[in-house]
Chains A and B, each alone.
Chain A
Amino acid sequence: MNTTTLLIARRIGIAALTLLLVSVVVFSITSVLPGDAAQAALGQSATPEMIAALRAQMGLDAPAYLRYLHWLGGLLSGNPGQSLSNNTPVAQLIGLRLPKSLWLAGAAAALSVPIALSIGIVSAMHRGSYLDRGLSLVTLGMVAVPEFLVATVAVLIFAVKLHWLSALSYTPDTPGLGQFLRAYAMPVMTLSFVVVAQMARMTRAAVVDQVSRPYVEMAILKGASPARIVLRHALPNAAGPIANAIALSLSYLLGGAIIVETIFNFPGIASLMVDAVTNRDMPLLQACAMIFCCAYLALVLLADVFAIISSPKLRHR
């Protein structure tokens, strides 16, 4: 018990340190080219004096490390500054968009995890068979398909040819179930497509890795059925690696969301970030980037903690 707590505390500490490093990286990349914020806010016709005054007012003439500390303090206290392009607080913009993205990611996860685990476990149970090889080729192909191909084909089939769904996703603030399904169906399908393939492959690998261990050979010699060997013997030991596979694949949702939200015009945080890049709206961009990195680290941390808790070896120490 004591070792477990210690291990988990260590992981959390490392994650916090990593996040700090990430914040340094994000901040330095986005503030290497100086002075743009004041220039951008005032436009081309501004006199040098006006720009200098605004720079002083925005604190842009301070040394980089002070600006970084100021920014970090703002992030931690929930006030990551003012958006440059529409002059609203960044926190407010993100507050509007984040829940929608979370719904999208949640729905995609709820759809893809059961499918992927079934494919992965079934392939591992029948490894070497035609079913396994067929599934392996299909998932291998799916992993390499760009999201915008999946999205455009989905629009072509479901919106243009069949007229089941509308190509533009529109989400009223309190959607009914029908509206929710119509708005989310295609983005969720597209996001799940690649994630399912990746997760299924990693799950299969995790289970197969266990199946080649001596204790499984022992179970085979005892005469246990293939299904029992995988489900009863191998699966509990593969729980940690599978959790890892799920977390890594789900973290892929973060990147996939950028393309999917843009193509379906989905008002989420990923499309907000793309707009921020287009408008060179640095405060907004920095905050969005940090949210994505936080989400990624949180997923990896969760998987780590789960692996520590579920590992039979550590449990009995």
Chain B
Amino acid sequence: MTAPTVSSSADRPPAVGAAPRRASAWGRWRRRLSISGLIGLATVIFWLLVAALGPLLAPHGVGAIVADDSFASFSTQFPLGSDYLGRDVLSRILYGARYTVGLALAAAVLASSVGTALGLAAAVTGRWIDETMSRLLDALTCIPSKIFALVMVAGFGSSVPLLMLTAALTYLPGAYRIARSLAVNLNVMEYVEVARARGEGRAHIACSEILPNMIHPMLADFGLRFVFVVLLLSGLSFLGLGVQPPAADLGSLVRENISGLAEGAPAVLMPAFAIATLTIGVNLLIDSLPGRARRFAQGALR
């Protein structure tokens, strides 16, 4: 499906004065993205920048009470209105994005990398380890993600490291399952057989032969895990069980301003919209990735 596009753009002679190879690979990748994919990419970059630079961009301090009335509507002075204490909603969102994006990134990286490592290990080592690991992680998937998070918070109390660990544990089995199925299929390929016949060790086979060939689907899967984690953690914060005050992620912002809903205050809706743009953006980006990576990722579910 996408193969002809790839080869035709690869065969095209490089334009005079074209940037070196790296840039043309980027250009090729970009050309393959659909419009929705480009929108997704732009959104993702936007939110990464906000998470990195948010506090520098914020017009007001995160706790500063600057407006005269609470739940004010949009104005030039406060572009997204004011919250229940009269703080600037835009600044609150710019600060809060740091928690939402940062925590979710950390948890998704943890889940995906550990899942990939375990999946690889299961594929190249013996059957016994594979079976045990698969059964144990399967049992973990049978606890719905939000229920597991609630149990963890009840057991250990809510703190930022615990939230990250909980989210990572919740989505680890899914990443493991996909990594394992990819690795098992690659493990019987001829070039892996050749490497094995050459006398390469298991670690070499896993890292140098199998891993490079599964990195693209795993990256798409990582994007999906990131979306799940964002939704899970902001859901928890919305329940008051996630990031604890005075710190606030985007979910906490919805919670603390929920009393403004009856007036239709932007303070309730804007943080919720912010989360939606982030998650929809990542989804659009993943959806426009070339076939194989996407197909694997889309088999997964929250």
Contact = CB atoms under 8 A, between A and B. Distances in A.
Interface string A11-49: 000000011011001100111110000000000000000
Contact of A155 (B140, B146, B261): B261
Interface in A30-71: 30-33
Interface in B257-278: 258, 261-264, 268-269, 272-273, 275-276
Interface residues of A, number: 57
Contacts of A33: 155-156
Interface in A280-311: 280, 282, 285, 289, 292-293, 296-297, 300
Interface stretch (A117-125, A178-186, A270-278): A270-278
B24 interface: no
A82 interface: no
* Chain A interface SS verdict (over half): helix
Interface stretch (B56-64, B74-82, B180-188, B233-241): B233-241
Nearest to B299: A205
A143 interface: yes
A297 B138 CA distance: 11
Interface residues of B, number: 48
A265 to B, nearest CB: 11
Given A147-B235, A148-B254, A273 B272 contact: no
Contact of A277 (B140, B150, B268): B150
25 contacts: A18-B139, A26-B143, A29-B155, A31-B155, A33-B155, A136-B287, A137-B36, A146-B279, A148-B254, A149-B275, A153-B269, A155-B261, A160-B261, A160-B263, A252-B302, A254-B147, A259-B146, A259-B238, A262-B238, A263-B258, A276-B154, A277-B241, A278-B240, A293-B143, A297-B142
Interface of B: 36, 136, 138-140, 142-147, 150-156, 227, 231, 234-235, 238-241, 251, 254, 258, 261-264, 268-269, 272-273, 275-276, 279-280, 282-284, 287, 298, 301-302
